[in-house]
Amino acid sequence: MRELPPQVQNQLAQFQQLQQQLQVLASQRLQLEGKLREVTSTLEELGKLGADTPMYRSTGSLLVRVEDREALKKELEEQKETLEIRVNTIKKQEKSLGERYEQLQQKLTQVLEGGGPAAE
């Protein structure tokens, strides 16, 4: 097996780094999407509850009674909005990195299979 030129070795390192970054972003997105589903579900349930139903919020290992429903609803809506923004930002990053990943994969495939130029 022949020794790979330094430029190809560098591209392989970049390829592996992009792959790791994509995995990290996918993991972060999945976690945020889970939180988003939870907040959305909580808001839906909140809308179904009657005004006289007592509500509690988890604070650490305690449950604390919530008196101000509107403040809680507003806080949850803001949290939902923030999560949606973060999820969309990660999706954009994933798309951008995914495109770079595919381009580099094509270059490396050409070089490693066909012995073509490794120029970027």
- Tell me the per-residue pLDDT of 10-47, one tens digit each, with 9 for 90 and over: 999 999 999 999 999 999 999 999 999 999 999 999 99
Q: 120 falls in which pLDDT band (50, 70, 90)? A: very low
Domains and CATH numbers, the chain: 9-114 (1.10.287.370)
Region of residue 115 (phi > 0: left; psi between -120 and 50: alpha; otherwise: beta): left
Q: How many distinct helices (H) and strands (E) make up the chain?
A: 2, 2
Q: Rounded to an integer, what distance in angstroms lies between the CA atom of residue 115 and that of residue 4?
A: 10
Give the pTM.
0.81
Q: Which helix (H) or strand (E) holds 59?
A: strand 55-59
Give the pLDDT of residue 5: 83
Q: Taking residues 47-66, what's their average pLDDT?
A: 92
Q: Rounded to an integer, what distance in angstroms lies between the CA atom of residue 95 and that of residue 101?
A: 10
Distance of CA 99 to the CA centre of its chain: 16
